[in-house]
């Protein structure tokens, strides 16, 4: 099982094992980035001897992470090598998702390819956590069975939740207000102790998925997403920043107009009162809209030129621009990404967000194109959950069982 | 010369040298934290063999970082060892500071003790950068000479400036509005190419000094400081976070009341319009106050119960509370520290800051005592500049010349 811990080499004395582990990751990274390539190509790229690389490659093959073809596929001149590539069988990551209106499961292989993808519409708000988790467990088992039939073995399980997951281990969802959860420990409800997933906040996973998916991603960025609430995730130097206790990125309650309307949190003028789903529906005159896809409705009305909807989205965009001004001033990111539902509504939000940023971020260079919608939109969190395990293996291949 | 670069072991393959470097730092850290202790004590603490520790200690002594006494001073039972300790001679860090109204220089030894401390009042705003830097260079040379007489050798030089220092190397101060500097490259003005200091933002250095000075510091915190402007520094997991380009922590231009008074930056309602020195003096009816120590004046009036001063500081505290709400929501720090001039005015600022935080940070645990004034106050940046070199040596003792 590929867990979050992963021994850090930086606090204690370094050992030969640390060196071996790091070099396995370097070789696996070279194969991922440049395959097909031969053992000699790897040695040339990473600056280790051919003998050292061969021993490392043998171990990666033994652990099922790398395959070696009969002959090179590179077509380059010179002595032919045998092409190394990431394995499309064996190691895999399972992602799971609980949304307010759906459940999801996804299995990716070590190449990051989604091989199993399941989604079921379910009204999850207010239901007992145990009931919802039993259904997720059943969905997970079905996805794992489907993956096994494809020759994949799930090495880690991550569950995306619309709530706060504190930093300490133990599989706790501290609070998921839109589900009505408080203090839910996954292991207390999961039917099989061997397959309990690790929970993670959906905005965090959406941000990571966007980062791993983008061709030339910003290394330090703020990923804003909206489901029923408004959240953000901070990626700093390519790593998720969770805050001292796991609460970082609570963008929805930034005070954008300190004397504005009262918020459910007890304060006034929070971003969610302008850019949250309920606030936008209300301003658009669609507050009576029943269960269903509110985002699709807003996009449809905006596309039809419905003035109250356009005004509501502009108001939301301005408020987002104020909150993101604070984020840019504090964090100095390379980029800002609109994810989740905001990605689907980006056409109508972006002009107002950009106008606020242009008017308020004046003391530093700020390029309008540093703000962009995520290409993954609402698929991000589930994909991010599945890819997390793959990324952990890439960083430390010894997490895989030895061959 | 101990520079910022320092080879990172994490991106390429690991080598025996990386291991040696890391283990030297581990041993030096044990000596710093627990001295006096013997070679055997070190081996017991760090989990390396006695033979390995002895070789590492020999190298640290050769590089002048550690001294070994004739007999142990610990008074513990058992076979006596010879006490190891950080050297109070040899390696040292020079800190320099340019303020709007003063210049400063400080030399600390490897134990972090300030051994030389010089401060000269000077009106630096609007003077040519070359003129100011020539005076700093003279002050630096005098401080180094004084240090040499104490048996200290300066291994690194850092200059604290009230301005923006971008991440890229090259010794550039991009903008120091309160000095009137723009695009000043230190090497262009420094008389001796061998002693050009590395510039760093004063708020960043103040934050680090507070972190290194505190007994039980928060590992992730926001350090707010005010000189003529309002700035902040972010320390994340014990390390300064400078942002993607070096602009992180620009707290002074967070929009706290988006429709508020116009700001010199071109936007409206920035924090500096409420909590900056000029705004507080204006609200306190002291706008005509000439050159001199405005902070001391405000403290004196507040202590005397002067109503406009008390109101101005309360207004500043409320605005700071709004900006810090955004910082807490986004970054989820363990702590907030009021540094620089704010530390001297903390008695009158803290109640209003705490009231805003209590009203607005409601969804996560937030303890009022997580906000505290810095014990270093306005001495922080200069001390931080000098200590930076010492901390680099502690992290990589091979930066010191071999014995």
**Beta carbons of A260 and A268 less than 8 angstroms apart:** yes
Inter-chain contact B14–A13, Cβ cutoff 8 Å?
A: no
Interface of B with A in 263-292 (CB under 8 A): 265-267
Measured between CA atoms, the residue of chain B closest to residue A30 is B12
Domain B16-87 falls under CATH 1.10.10.10:
yes
Task: Scan for tokens 């940070």, then name that residue.
Answer: B361
**Average pLDDT of the residues in A292-311:** 93
DSSP code string of A10-33: SSS---HHHHHHHHHHHHHHHHHH
Task: Scan for tokens 């937030």, then name that residue.
Answer: B366
Task: Scan for tokens 């991550």, then name that residue.
Answer: A158
Neighboring chain A residues of B247 at a CB cutoff of 8 Å: 332, 363-364
What average pLDDT does chain B have?
91
**Is the model's pLDDT at B226 over the cut of 80?**
yes
Neighboring chain A residues of B19 at a CB cutoff of 8 Å: 14-15, 18-19
ipTM value = 0.84
How many Å apart are CA A261 and CA A246, to the nearest integer?
A: 28
Task: Tell me, yes or no, if the two domains A17-87 and A215-374 fold the same way.
Answer: no
**Average pLDDT of the residues in A140-147:** 97
For residue A387, give Cα distances in angstroms to A136, A152, A160, A244. 18, 14, 12, 24
Q: Which of A223-232, A369-378, B47-56, B262-271 has the lowest mean pLDDT?
A: A223-232
Q: Which residues contact B191 (CB under 8 A, 6 or more apart)?
A: B134, B137
Torsion angle, alpha carbons of B280, B285, B291, B295, to 10: -40
How many Å apart are CA A381 and CA A392, to the nearest integer?
A: 17
Task: Scan for tokens 């070096």, then name that residue.
Answer: B246
**Average pLDDT of the residues in A315-321:** 97
| Res. A245 pLDDT band, cuts 50 70 90 | confident
Nearest Cα residue to A378 out of A266, A293, A284, A280 = A293
Interface of B with A in 353-392 (CB under 8 A): 359-360, 362-365
Phi, psi for A292 (deg, rounded to 5): 145, -165
Could you tell me the residue ranges of all domains in chain B? 16-87, 90-206+381-395, 215-374
Give the class (CATH, top level) of B90-206+381-395: alpha beta
**Beta carbons of A331 and B248 less than 8 angstroms apart:** yes
Give the pLDDT of residue A290.
67
Give the pLDDT of residue A80.
62
**Per-residue model confidence as pLDDT tens digits over B278-310:** 899 999 999 887 667 889 999 999 999 999 999
CATH (residue range A17-87) = 1.10.10.10
Give the pLDDT of residue B215.
78
**Average pLDDT of the residues in A226-237:** 87
Whether residue B256 lies within 8 A of chain A, CB to CB, comes out as yes
How many Å apart are CA B302 and CA B348, to the nearest integer?
A: 8
Helices B380-395 & B202-213, crossing angle to 10 degrees? 70
| Res. A371 pLDDT band, cuts 50 70 90 | very high
Interface of B with A in 327-356 (CB under 8 A): 327, 329-334
How many Å apart are CA A218 and CA B403, to the nearest integer?
A: 43
CATH (residue range A215-374) = 3.30.420.40
Other Cβ atoms closer than 10 A to A113: 12
**Is the model's pLDDT at B155 over the cut of 60?**
yes
Phi, psi for A375 (deg, rounded to 5): -70, -20
Interface of A with B in 226-245 (CB under 8 A): 232, 234, 236, 241-245
Per CATH, which fold does A91-205+381-395 belong to? Nucleotidyltransferase; domain 5 (3.30.420)
**Per-residue model confidence as pLDDT tens digits over B347-370:** 999 999 999 999 999 888 889 899
**Is the model's pLDDT at A118 over the cut of 50?**
yes
pLDDT-above-90 percentage for chain A: 73
Nearest Cα residue to B267 out of B279, B255, B275 = B255
Give the pLDDT of residue B78.
55
Residue B259 DSSP symbol: T
CB burial of B116-145 (b: ≥16 within 10 Å; e: otherwise) equals: bbbeeebebbeeebeebbebbbebbeebbe
DSSP code string of B82-147: PPEEE-SSEEEEEEEEE-SSEEEEEEEETT--EEEEEEEE---TTS-HHHHHHHHHHHHHHHHHHH
């Amino acid at each position: 099982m590929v867990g979050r811990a992963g021994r850090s080499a930086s606090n204690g004395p370094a050992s030969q094992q640390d060196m071996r582990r790091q070099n396995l990751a370097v070789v696996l990274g070279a194969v991922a980035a440049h395959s097909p390539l031969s053992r000699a190509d790897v040695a040339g790229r990473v600056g280790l001897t051919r003998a050292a690389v061969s021993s490392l490659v043998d171990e990666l093959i033994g652990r099922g992470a790398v395959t070696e073809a009969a002959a090179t596929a590179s077509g380059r001149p010179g002595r032919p090598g045998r092409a190394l590539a990431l394995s499309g069988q064996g190691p895999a990551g399972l992602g799971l998702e609980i949304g307010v209106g759906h459940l999801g499961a996804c299995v990716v292989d070590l190449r990051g390819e989604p091989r199993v993808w399941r989604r079921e519409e379910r009204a999850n708000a207010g239901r007992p956590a145990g009931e919802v988790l039993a259904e997720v467990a059943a969905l997970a088992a079905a996805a794992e069975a489907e993956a096994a039939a494809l020759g994949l073995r799930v090495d880690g399980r991550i569950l995306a939740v619309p709530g706060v997951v504190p930093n300490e281990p133990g599989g706790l969802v501290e609070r998921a207000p839109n589900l009505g959860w408080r203090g839910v420990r996954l292991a207390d409800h999961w039917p099989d102790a061997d397959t309990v997933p690790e929970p993670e906040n959906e905005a965090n996973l959406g941000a990571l998925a966007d980062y791993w998916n983008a061709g030339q991603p910003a290394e330090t960025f703020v990923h804003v997403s909206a489901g029923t609430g408004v959240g953000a995730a901070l990626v700093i130097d390519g790593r998720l920043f969770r805050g001292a206790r796991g609460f970082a990125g609570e963008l929805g309650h930034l005070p954008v107009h300190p004397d504005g309307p009262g918020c459910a949190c007890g304060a006034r003028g929070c971003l969610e009162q302008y850019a949250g789903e309920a606030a936008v529906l209300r301003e658009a005159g669609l507050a009576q809209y029943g269960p269903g896809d509110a985002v699709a409705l807003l996009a449809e009305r905006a596309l039809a030129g419905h003035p109250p909807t356009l005004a509501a989205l502009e108001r939301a965009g301005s408020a987002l621009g104020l909150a993101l001004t604070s984020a840019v001033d504090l964090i100095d990111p390379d980029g800002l990404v609109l994810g989740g539902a905001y990605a689907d509504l980006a056409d109508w939000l972006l002009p107002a967000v950009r106008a606020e940023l242009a008017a308020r971020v004046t003391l530093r260079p700020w390029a309008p194109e540093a703000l962009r919608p995520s290409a993954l939109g609402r698929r991000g969190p589930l994909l991010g959950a599945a890819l997390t395990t793959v990324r952990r293996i890439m960083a430390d291949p010894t997490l895989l069982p030895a061959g």
